[in-house]
Amino acid sequence: MDSLFLNPLIRLSLPPRFRANPVKYSCLYVSFLHPSVFSNNIARRTRRTRRRRNPTISVRLGDTGEPKQQLNLSVLRFTLGIPGFDESYLPRWIGYAFGSLLFLNHFVGSRSYTTAAQFRSEALGVSLAAFSVALPYFGKFLKGATPVDQAALPEGNKQIFIMSESLSDIQKEDLAWATYILLRNTNTMSVLISVGDALCVRGYWGAPEDVSKASELDWFERQIQQIGFSDLRDTLYFPQTSDSAFSEMLPRGTQSLLVQPVLGAPKLGLDDTQEITGGFILLASSMSYAYSDRDRAWIGAISNKFRIMRVNS
Amino acid sequence: MKRLMEAGSLLRPISWMPRPLPIRRLFFPNFPRSVKASSKFPGAGYRGPKPKRDWVAEWVSRNDDVVRSLPIYVGGFSLFVVLFNRAASGIAPVADASSSQSRADLLTLGLAVTNVLTGLVWLSIRPKSISLVNPQGVECQKICSDLPDYVVSELLWMWESLSVVTCCRSLVIVYEGSCLLQIGVAAESNGGNTMEVDAPKLIQGLLYQGVVKSGAQSYLANLSLYPGKSELPFLPSNTQAVILQPLGDKGIAIIGGDTIRGFTTADQAWITLIAEKLDATLSRFATNLTVTMQD
């Protein structure tokens, strides 16, 4: 725990994202030009895997009593094998490419006037292209979809770790630990915890250059007063960039924002060393849709830790 | 050996919270007794924007199955339409790129196939839903009686967080040779009483030794497959998954869940970090205890 104080610059390493083993079937993509061959390939491969024991789907009928058997389609995960290339966005690029080729074909390709049949075909093609472009956006909200692109740290921010002076050691330790755990376990690049009189800011923030180190805390306090975060009662989650009222306070390049109020009375009785406080936790991330339901549940659990603060050390 | 007391006699009774409630609703007030005097009208002071409801995201998450197979239907339908269009217009169905009609058809076919493949990929990556198994046993809330309030509140906070956010249904914390906390559903011993945790026996067992020596969390995703299950008789017999988390080198936290592979990697990471904090708190309490005993 000492390392939390001695080393304010922590590595913002994101937890490893689980990715299923991709199977290289790049030939599947080329074979669409020959529809008959393609369908045979698909049929052959799926027949083979249905006979093979596939470890990824291991539940058998009768073990847990699941009524419907799930189709074993895991053979169809494919990748082009290029590192850093996200295949889930492939339909979007193909939609753009083929759509533009369709337009090219319409205006440049035909020597005579376009027949009605061609017009119908092209209309269908363009609407399909638009649908393909929209597909990755819908795919993001499906269950089990993980954001594959790692959060990139935007320019223009500097890493800071400041805390109110007038806190006991135990409070400082609690705040340092909470900010550390939030930065480490979620896709967060900046965190601010304000509980009662205590304020702790950690991560990458873009405070203006003319604010001196000593008065950075006051600058944050003023921003908070202006927006009125302390009186919040509901959790606010902005999954995409909002223009806004608080873009001056937030670091540059923030895409999603989560503000979690610290609420409610604890279950235990209080004694003299404890007091009830109000406050909030603010998390900013450089990715959009950065916080899943489970992330938000855990952040709510962390905020409950600050419902009571120990005043005597 | 420290005597375990029922929590109700030392503190206010802890209400048993049903698990599926989202964490926001659980801690809805009880308004605090002393409110910070920043504003007399709670809620009126916030002047920022409120987030809009994301209709697309909600619709997609509610109709997950339909959305997954939607591209397949769209792609298949377009395939038929293209071929039908060709046939109905009297053009021979040849797949060459000579006329612009053929080129347009080929591009549309390519898009249709993309959609079908995307639909198949989405179907193949659907996460398997595993049903939960209610643990058989009796509810218990036992906390060691000599602990100071700050340790008790930290332990109870850990239990609240785990039981609400994850699939945890039982929690046992053993530290420095004695059981500090046994909460949740526990195995039933004769006569409807809860089976107590035999801490010395647990500490001598292989499970504890292995976990504390390696210092790393051990996740038994499907407890029925592990022979070490016999060392945990205090957990309900049909506990599905167990996480064994060492607390430094002096203790262990045993977290039992009701779903096979119910703890995600994110949950594991959170549990590891929370356990480190708990270890720091408990070791501070332990050193305070030895200091006062030496005085």
Q: What percent of chain B has pLDDT over 70?
A: 80
Contact A268 B23 (CB under 8 A): no
Angle at B288 between CA A269 and CA B295, to 5 degrees: 120
Q: Is the pLDDT of residue A149 over 80?
A: no
Contact A231 B152 (CB under 8 A): no
Stretch among A85-99, A150-164, B44-58, B123-137 having the lowest mean pLDDT: B44-58
Q: Which residues of B touch A265 (CB under 8 A)?
A: 29-33
Q: Which residues of A touch B152 (CB under 8 A)?
A: 268
pLDDT at B116: 93
- Asked if B35 is an interface residue toward chain A (Cβ–Cβ < 8 A), one would say yes
pTM more than 0.90:
no
Structure confidence at residue B93 as a pLDDT band (50, 70, 90): low
Q: Looking at residues A240-257, what average pLDDT do you find?
A: 77
A81-85, A292-296, B12-16, B128-132: which is most confident = A292-296
Q: Note which residues in 147-206 of chain A have CB less than 8 A from chain B.
A: 173, 177, 180-181, 184-185, 196
Q: Which residues of B touch A77 (CB under 8 A)?
A: 121, 124-125
Q: Which residues contact B256 (CB under 8 A, 6 or more apart)?
A: B135, B168, B169, B170, B171, B172, B184, B185, B235, B236, B239, B241, B242
Contact A142 B67 (CB under 8 A): yes
pLDDT at A265: 59
Question: Any idea how long chain A is?
Answer: 313
Give the residue on B whose Cα is nearest the Cα of A177. Answer: B277
Strands (E), chain B: 4-6, 138-144, 168-175, 178-186, 218-220, 241-247, 251-257
What's the CA gap between B254 and B219, in Å, rounded? 10
Tokens of B255: 């977290």
The span from the first CA to the last CA of chain B, in angstroms, equals: 22
Disruptive mutation site among A2, A36, A267, A310 for chain B (greatest number of B CBs within 10 Å): A267
A260: nearest Cα among A153, A182, A185, A151 = A182
Q: Which residues of A touch B110 (CB under 8 A)?
A: 32, 94, 98
Q: Between these two residues, A233 and B171, which has the higher pLDDT value?
A: B171
Disruptive mutation site among B23, B154, B288 for chain A (greatest number of A CBs within 10 Å): B23
Q: Please report how many Cα atoms fall inside a 13 Å half-sphere around the Cα of residue B278, on the Cβ side.
A: 27
**pLDDT tens, position by position, B191-230:** 778 888 888 888 888 889 999 999 999 999 888 888 888 8
Instruction: Report the gap between the CA of B44 and the closest CA in chain A (Å).
Output: 7
pLDDT at B162: 93
Q: Note which residues in 223-242 of chain A have CB less than 8 A from chain B.
A: 226-239, 242
What's the CA gap between B36 and A304, in Å, rounded? 17
Give the ranges where chain A is alpha helix by DSSP (H).
3-6, 27-30, 35-51, 90-104, 116-139, 169-185, 216-227, 293-305
Q: Looking at residues B34-61, what average pLDDT do you find?
A: 63
**pLDDT tens, position by position, A36-45:** 443 344 444 4
pLDDT at A34: 40
- Asked if A92 is an interface residue toward chain B (Cβ–Cβ < 8 A), one would say no
Average pLDDT for chain A: 71
Instruction: Report the gap between the CA of A121 and the closest CA in chain B (Å).
Output: 6
- Asked if A22 is an interface residue toward chain B (Cβ–Cβ < 8 A), one would say no
Q: Is the pLDDT of residue A65 over 70?
A: no
- Asked if B191 is an interface residue toward chain A (Cβ–Cβ < 8 A), one would say no
Contact A239 B95 (CB under 8 A): no
Q: Which residues of A touch B63 (CB under 8 A)?
A: none
CA torsion sign for A286, A292, A295, A299 is positive
**pLDDT tens, position by position, B256-288:** 999 988 898 889 999 999 999 999 999 988 887
Q: Looking at residues A148-165, what average pLDDT do you find?
A: 78
Structure confidence at residue B43 as a pLDDT band (50, 70, 90): very low
Q: What is the DSSP letter of B193?
A: P
Instruction: Report the gap between the CA of A253 and the closest CA in chain B (Å).
Output: 18
Which residues, listed in sequence order, are joined to residue B5 by a DSSP beta bridge?
A: B143
Q: Note which residues in 245-264 of chain B have CB less than 8 A from chain A.
A: 264
Instruction: Report the gap between the CA of A102 and the closest CA in chain B (Å).
Output: 6
Q: Looking at residues A246-260, what average pLDDT do you find?
A: 83
Which residues, listed in sequence order, are joined to residue A193 by a DSSP beta bridge?
A: A200, A281
Hey, is B114 helix, strand or coil?
helix
Q: Is the pLDDT of residue A252 over 70?
A: yes
**Unique residue bearing structure tokens 């004695």:** B178
Contact B100 A298 (CB under 8 A): no
Hey, is B220 helix, strand or coil?
strand
Instruction: Report the gap between the CA of A282 and the closest CA in chain B (Å).
Output: 13
Examine the predicted complex and report whether its ipTM is higher than 0.90: no
